[in-house]
Homo-oligomer: A and B are copies of this chain.
Amino acid sequence: MANPMVMKLRAGTKLTEADCQQLEALTVKRREVPARTDLITESEAPLNVHLVLEGFACRYKTLPNGRRQIVAYLIPGDFCDLHVAVLGEMDHSIGTLAPSIVADIPSEDIIELTMTNPRLARALWWATLVDEGILREWLVGMGQRPAAQRLAHLLCELHARFDAVGHAADGSYHLPLTQSELADTLGMTTVHANRTLQLLRRGGYISTQGQMISIPDFARLSMFASFDPNYLHYINGETLGLPPGIKMRGTQT
């Protein structure tokens, strides 16, 4: 069984077999974390780097008035906090949304790896830049896309990301989120998240059974959301759910 972190980095950078083994060696120390459990909270200063191997986690911030905004999803293969050793303290929290398996990697191991293997240094660099790209894209969605396209865009992105780590098949993937968590992600109320989901279902864009979500026609959903996967910076879009020959760039709803 393949390591999702290695799969993800291979989707965006070129690595040798030896590189992959070095990466894999980082993830030996694993632990199970139940759903709805914080891994790190705001204003802490963590020692280990965390990596999601299975499950689903998120980055979030809570406002004084109690409202919460989820600012990133962390799916298998994603580092939670590759960086934060540089900063004094966290400016946000990280918590699981579903039962997960997490690897704890000592910061020193990461530092040593990047000092000795420039290809891996570049790969980790790449991963953080993709995270930043996703953040920008979410901001664009919040500012400019109406609810339905915002949701549709998120579902497209998740499909691509899950696919890159082998967690999507046949346009379907497992999305262990409540509608209220979706709402906190998309900046809308639970009620409206519900109605927006129904809209996409009635439009034939998606179908759901339990926590499985299926996208019968990915190109159609992409078009609706004007989803352009370039911000994920995978090496080629063709293997990642896009029918060959279809470039989304610049298409119009």
Interface residues of A (CB under 8 A from B): 43, 59, 61, 63-65, 67-69, 71-72, 83-84, 86-89, 91-92, 122, 125-126, 129, 131-133, 135-140, 142-145, 184, 186-187, 226, 230-231, 233, 250-253
Contact = CB atoms under 8 A, between A and B. Distances in A.
Number of copies: 2
A139 B140 contact: no
27 contacts: A63-B145, A63-B226, A64-B250, A64-B251, A65-B252, A65-B253, A68-B144, A69-B140, A69-B143, A69-B144, A71-B139, A71-B140, A72-B136, A83-B129, A84-B129, A87-B126, A87-B129, A91-B136, A91-B231, A91-B233, A132-B132, A132-B135, A138-B139, A139-B139, A139-B142, A142-B143, A143-B186
Contact of A64 (B125, B226, B230): B226
Contacts of A59: 136
Contact of A71 (B64, B136, B251): B136
A252 to B, nearest CB: 5
A69 B187 contact: no
A69 B64 CA distance: 27
A61 B129 contact: no
B91 A187 contact: no
A92 to B, nearest CB: 6
Contacts of A184: 143
Instruction: Indicate the member of A61, A133, A145 with the most B CB atoms within 10 Å.
Output: A61
Nearest to A125: B86
Given A91-B230, A233-B88, A140 B61 contact: yes
Given A67-B144, A233-B87, A233-B91, A61 B136 contact: yes
B125 A92 contact: no
Contacts of A63: 140, 144-145, 226
